[in-house]
Amino acid sequence: MSLRTRLSWASLFALLPPMLARATEGDAEAWTLAVLPDTQIYCQDYPQHFEAQTKWIADHAESHNIRFVLHEGDVTNRNVEKQWDRALRAMQRLDGVVPYAIAPGNHDYGPGGNAANRDSLFNAPRYFGPGSSYAGQANCGFFSNDATDNSWSLFEAGGRKWLVLALEWAPRDEVVAWANDVVAAHSDRLAILVTHAFLYYDDSRYDWKQFGPRQTWNPHNYGLTKLPGQTINDGSELWDKLVSRHANFRLTFNGHVLGDGAAYRSDEGAAGNAVHQMLANYQMKAEGGMGDMRLLRFSADGETVDVRTYSPVLQRFDRSFDQEFRLDLNHVRRPLQPPLATRASLLAASPFDRRTSQEAAAWSDQLRWLRAKPRLRQPGQDDRALFYQEGVLLATPGPASTTLPTARVSVPRNGFGDYGIGVAAHPDAVAWPTDMDGDHVSMAWFPFSAGFIGGHVDANGSWAEGSRKLAKSSRVSRLATGEYQLALGVDSRHAGVLLAVANDAKDVCVAACPNDDGKGWRISGYDPQSQAETGGEATQRDVAFSFVYLPLATPHLIAGVYRGAESEHTASAGKLTMQRVGVGQYRLLVDDELTDDGVLLLYENAVRADKLGTSLTYRRIDGGFQIVAHRFHNAAPCDAEFSWALLSPSAPTGAAIEGDFNQDGRTDGFDFLEWQRRGAPAHDADGNADSDALREWERGF
């Protein structure tokens, strides 16, 4: 065994937190509930991760007093035998060790997992149907004699009696009626519901009547609705018809929803009982989730529950605010909230330039360095492409020549259905020089894992599929054609800087302006070419856009919101001087070092149609930058209102984290794997993957 192997395993076991230590005699009644989120990608491509989860549970069943296991559904991705074989092999590790219940998801039904009907191999006797080891568990029963996809289970833990209801995808009315009878018949037991679709990623419940298709992946929006006589219940309907009616309900669990895979809310039932509702689904992470699963530790006091997210694959906890929290089983908890002020431990935004040639920057041509093509990749991440569920990419014209007064850049996302991010450089309506070699597009990547506040909005004014979940107070809406309202629960005029970029790869731009009352921003989409036809007034167009919000308290932030005509900042952060030196010309002075390697992002703020259509470019000067504003339609200089941020590797926005070898904003198991692969040259002076580098990771971990 090599030194590296001895150090790695010894270090990992030594670093397991106290929560996962062997139960002590003084806490004998404490127990653990394990929750397996969607395993569909594991059964399709990474079965070893599924087996690692159930092996860990079986191996720790006694030491951690694991009394029950829930599976939230989408066991498979395609409802085919190969994937069910893998699921059976993984789940059978629990047989005779820990009882478990499975609530099949939409991908477990219908041909190819399309949920067009209720046929599922799950109900086959050779898998989990009647006659299987799953059906033969003690203390359980089923809705039907010929299917097991609706079940009840009984167990005891912590001196209490518990009831688990595991319901099918999009439960039918008759199943809900049966479930009510089961709960009523066991009113002496605390009840848990697990079903695939209940809570949505914004902490609301699925509610077709209120939101319709705006809540993506609602059970009412699948093929089952086309079958005669089918009834369907989503989260809100299950709450009204089942959960809220019974005083003994305490918990609900579901998966299904994409994005960051987390949501939580608690409400009082009709009897005043607290019901804690949780979404956990990590399929959009690397390799379908890297083994992340939920562990709920119920303390001996019968009230305190610690919710943790743990990966036996990486042997690490996810300590994000919505992945690790504490609740009181018998009392409603306040909503989970991310910090609005960026923590001092944030990773820097990763700035980088991309030189483009005239050929690469042809009209509306996306510079997509993804997958089989040369890919736009994260610094320090090998060839890992950027995906919009993981962060926001901002891009603006870089140090441009004076012959390029009205260049513009957009950041298309999901252009080919792969969730990837590209960059599109656009010629202006006046002149686009052919000698563009050596010009720059300035870009910066803001990873959500580092705590940056941002998101993606579709042209209809709804959060994009899988977009980042923000604070409960965050709202976005479409007011009219090309007009949107964004609120983040902060003072939009004085607390920070909002940077917004269009996702359209064609001819639509975006501008964001703080509201006068400080309650959010007005976002405007417009067609810059329309100005030439109207004599200067832009035609507003609906547009998809992405944004990042940078609180002024962000460590090392140099940014501001500037009014050019008045030559003043309404908000700013960092050591800087900004001067108006002429119409549409501004001089930004900062440290010389920042001038050499800094990336300047510039975005217009106007919202009036006659003020929209300002191009912002810059060039480097001694001690800073010269910023120039032109009108898109005639390239005439004009004063502008704009937001800006200066990002530099030499003075990163947020402090780098000790042991964060892969530069994703956290010190976790991914960094350990990075250390194993190629060491830590970015953090360790000698660049070797030796014990010194490992100890640095241990300190950060």
Report how far residue 307's alpha carbon sits from residue 251's, in angstroms, rounded to the nearest whole number.
12
In the prediction, which pLDDT does 460 show?
92
AA letter at 100: Y
Query: pLDDT value at position 531?
Result: 67
Q: Give pTM, 2 decimals.
A: 0.54
R_g of the chain computed on alpha carbons: 27
At 650 the pLDDT is: 55
Residue 509: per-residue pLDDT: 84
pLDDT of amino acid 152 = 99
Burial 153-170 (b: 16+ CB within 10 A, else e): bbbebbebebbbbbbbbb
CB of 93 closer than 8 Å to CB of 274:
no
Question: Distance between CA 513 and CA 485 in Å, rounded?
Answer: 10
CB atoms within 10 A of CB 637: 14
In the chain, which stretches have pLDDT less than 70?
1-28, 259-260, 337-386, 398-407, 414-441, 449-451, 466, 468-469, 471-473, 505-507, 531-536, 555, 592-597, 607-611, 649-701
Q: What is the residue-wise DSSP string for 539-558?
A: EE----EEEEEEETTSTT-E
Cα separation of the two ends of the chain: 24
| Residues paired with 384 in a beta bridge | none
Say how many residues make up the chain.
Answer: 701
CA 431 to chain centre: 40
Write out the two tokens for 224. 């089952």
What pLDDT, on a 0 to 100 scale, did the predictor assign at position 450?
A: 66
498 bridge partner residues: 549
- Bridge partners, 477 (sequence order): 485
Gap between the Cα atoms of 664 and 489, Å rounded: 26
CA–CA separation, 616 and 640 (whole Å): 9
Say what the pLDDT of residue 497 is.
Answer: 92
User: Between the CA atoms of 313, 314, 317 and 320, what dihedral angle is there, to the nearest 10 degrees?
Assistant: -110
pLDDT of amino acid 691: 53
Set out the domains of the chain in order of their start, with CATH numbers: 30-328 (3.60.21.10), 350-647 (no CATH), 669-700 (no CATH)
Distance separating alpha carbons of residues 420 and 443, to the nearest angstrom: 15
Rounded Cα distance, 49 and 527, in Å: 48
Which pLDDT value is given to residue 202? 81
Q: For residue 364, which phi and psi values (nearest 5 degrees)? A: 55, 25
Structure tokens at 533: 């036809």
Position 349 scores a pLDDT of 46
pLDDT value at residue 659: 59
